[in-house]
Chains A and B, each alone.
Chain A
């Protein structure tokens, strides 16, 4: 499934659709934790973008989402938007979504056909490890707290994000059975 990096109109359209799906995942709302970074469904969309579109296209979809939010569409957590979030505590998570989708897709698409194991590992590494690895230090920086404190602020996300990994695997497995064409680029 090693796809080329040449973007066709069909790719572009799918990239846009996934950017929109991630945006739509913020509409049901978020669970605020009082740290300025709520529990949201965004990472589900980030992982699905990588798993369905592959690393390169998945990352482009997420980048498109982030840019649209930055320039003013109210599609970030709790209907927020604008460049202000870059100075806030969630900035690193948002930026981390991009490499997060990339790594998810890279791992999930590394074989020649759909694999539950690769989807699982991809989502864990890309959707959680990579996103946290960027999200937590930036949070520490923007809130001017140390890394341990920021990590403490972020541990409540883990159960939810693990559930989202499980959802990604179940959804991808079902999608592959119901509509295998979805994974063909």
Chain B
């Protein structure tokens, strides 16, 4: 494993997202039909480009094929019904390749972007000029990142409550079922959440 991060890893998440959206848009245009003749090599070229990007990110195309393999069911699901309905093969190939390519590109983005970096750039984007109207509508950058942090904190707390409730119910000779567990879970979670809000207020946090 190479520890050095690729240029794709280091690219700012905002730019990467923009590039991703434009690439997906580009391969989604029905280029093959522009002049009336089929050119399925255009989406195929897109796929090759994506493989190249994976190679750039992970210094081998192994990861590309790994992700492609993950999509096998989806690919079958998209192709088989169309073939059964008699859609011409090049059209089917074109559309399948396009969907596959879009999924692979979006996954590449996720694979090369740390969640924290993405959180930071969301906060940064909200501070930027174009998005200032959103801020004026009340969507403060600090509030958004605070909400992210709070949710990530809350997930382990919820799992802790689930464990305690399961235990308490089995101790009473009860098989914990979703309904039985959910009411105490909601009560414990809401109380935790209200106490948490108070502690935040005491630390001078405002929304």
- Chains A and B touch (C-beta atoms under 8 A apart): yes
Most chain B beta-carbon neighbours within 10 Å: one of A144, A170, A182: A144
A174 within 8 A of B: yes
Query: How far, in Å, is A75 (CB) from chain B's closest CB?
Result: 8
A68 within 8 A of B: yes
Produce 1/0 per residue, A1-33, CB < 8 A to B: 000000111101111110111011001000000
Nearest-CB residue, chain B, relative to A183: B190
Asked whether, in the complex, the Cβ of B103 is within 8 Å of the Cβ of A167, the reply is: no
Report the interface size class on chain B: 35 or more
Produce 1/0 per residue, A39-66, CB < 8 A to B: 0010010001000100000000000110
In the complex, chain B residues whose CB is within 8 Å of the CB of A71: 113, 115, 118-119, 122
Asked whether, in the complex, the Cβ of B186 is within 8 Å of the Cβ of A52, the reply is: yes
Query: How far, in Å, is A173 (CB) from chain B's closest CB?
Result: 10
Asked whether, in the complex, the Cβ of A144 is within 8 Å of the Cβ of B99, the reply is: yes
Asked whether, in the complex, the Cβ of B197 is within 8 Å of the Cβ of A9, the reply is: yes
Report the interface size class on chain A: 35 or more
In the complex, chain A residues whose CB is within 8 Å of the CB of B205: 9
User: With contacts defined as CB atoms under 8 Å apart, how many contacts are there between chain A and chain B in the complex?
Assistant: 160
B45 within 8 A of A: no
In the complex, chain B residues whose CB is within 8 Å of the CB of A73: 115, 152
Query: How far, in Å, is A78 (CB) from chain B's closest CB?
Result: 11
A175 to B190 CA separation, bound complex (whole angstroms): 11
Asked whether, in the complex, the Cβ of A16 is within 8 Å of the Cβ of B150, the reply is: yes
Which stretch, B33-41, B58-66, B75-83, touches the partner chain A?
Answer: B75-83
Produce 1/0 per residue, B99-126, CB < 8 A to A: 1001110110111011100110010000
Main secondary structure of the interface of B (DSSP, over half): helix
A65 to B158 CA separation, bound complex (whole angstroms): 14
Main secondary structure of the interface of A (DSSP, over half): helix
B151 within 8 A of A: yes
Q: Which one of A8, A17, A144, A149 lies within 8 Å of B190 (CB-CB)?
A: A17
B162 within 8 A of A: yes
A78 to B133 CA separation, bound complex (whole angstroms): 37
Asked whether, in the complex, the Cβ of A149 is within 8 Å of the Cβ of B81, the reply is: yes
A84 within 8 A of B: yes
Q: Which one of B106, B143, B189 lies within 8 Å of A12 (CB-CB)?
A: B143
Query: How far, in Å, is B113 (CB) from chain A's closest CB?
Result: 7
Which stretch, A85-93, A118-126, A130-138, touches the partner chain B?
Answer: A85-93
Asked whether, in the complex, the Cβ of A20 is within 8 Å of the Cβ of B106, the reply is: no
Asked whether, in the complex, the Cβ of A12 is within 8 Å of the Cβ of B146, the reply is: yes
Nearest-CB residue, chain B, relative to A164: B178
Asked whether, in the complex, the Cβ of B187 is within 8 Å of the Cβ of A182, the reply is: yes
Query: How far, in Å, is A126 (CB) from chain B's closest CB?
Result: 18
Closest 10 CB pairs of A and B: A82-B110, A20-B154, A16-B150, A84-B106, A87-B102, A13-B197, A83-B106, A10-B197, A17-B193, A84-B107
Interface residues of chain B, those whose CB is within 8 Å of chain A, are 17, 20, 24, 73-74, 77-78, 81-82, 95, 99, 102-104, 106-107, 109-111, 113-115, 118-119, 122, 138, 143, 146-148, 150-155, 157-159, 162, 178-179, 182-183, 185-187, 189-190, 192-194, 196-198, 200-201, 205-207
Question: What are 27 residue pairs bridging A and B, where the CB atoms are less than 8 Å apart in the complex?
Answer: A7-B207, A9-B201, A10-B193, A10-B197, A12-B197, A13-B194, A13-B197, A17-B192, A20-B155, A21-B186, A23-B155, A24-B162, A36-B77, A71-B113, A72-B110, A73-B115, A82-B107, A83-B17, A84-B104, A84-B110, A86-B106, A87-B103, A145-B81, A167-B178, A170-B179, A175-B187, A179-B190
Apart from A13-B194, A175-B186, list 4 A-B contacts with CB within 8 A: A13-B200, A20-B157, A23-B151, A83-B17
